[in-house]
Amino acid sequence: MKLKVYKKQNGCLLWNCVVADSPLKRAIGIMGKKKFEPLLFTFPYKHELPISIHSFFCPVFYAVFLDKWKKVVQIRKFSSAEMFTSLPAAYLIEVNEKKGVKVGDALIW
């Protein structure tokens, strides 16, 4: 499934994301891909938990962490072979470019 992600403030289309909504899709993510479509991670729990991600076997990407109201709480650029645990987040979007998104922006899909 794909979802279009917009900036809530101005309705600007940011990304057309593939949804990683299963354990297998979340486990594989963008590993082994030189080029990738933005990937929206949805998680099975309703509350926010710290999210651990890595960039082993991944291209350079930005990780956009969102709270349960879809507000950007953190953005981090990953290069090869990094491991990171974020702030608590309800959603994660992995993208190859930020497109002007910054902490505090609200997104919709």
pLDDT for 97: 92
| pLDDT at residue 45 in the model | 63
Distance, in Å, from the CA atom of 83 to the CA atom of 79, rounded to the nearest integer, reads: 10
* In the chain, where the domains are located: 2-108
Considering the domain delimited by 2-108, tell me its CATH architecture.
Answer: Sandwich (2.60)
DSSP 22-80: SHHHHHHTTTT-SS---EEEE-S-SS-EEEEEE-TT--SEEEEEE-TT-BEEEEEEE-T
Report pLDDT for 30.
Answer: 77
pTM here is: 0.84
User: Cα–Cα distance between 91 and 26 in angstroms, integer?
Assistant: 12
pLDDT in tens, the chain (109 residues): 899 999 999 999 999 999 987 888 877 777 778 888 999 988 766 556 666 676 677 778 899 989 889 999 999 888 877 677 667 788 999 999 999 999 999 999 9
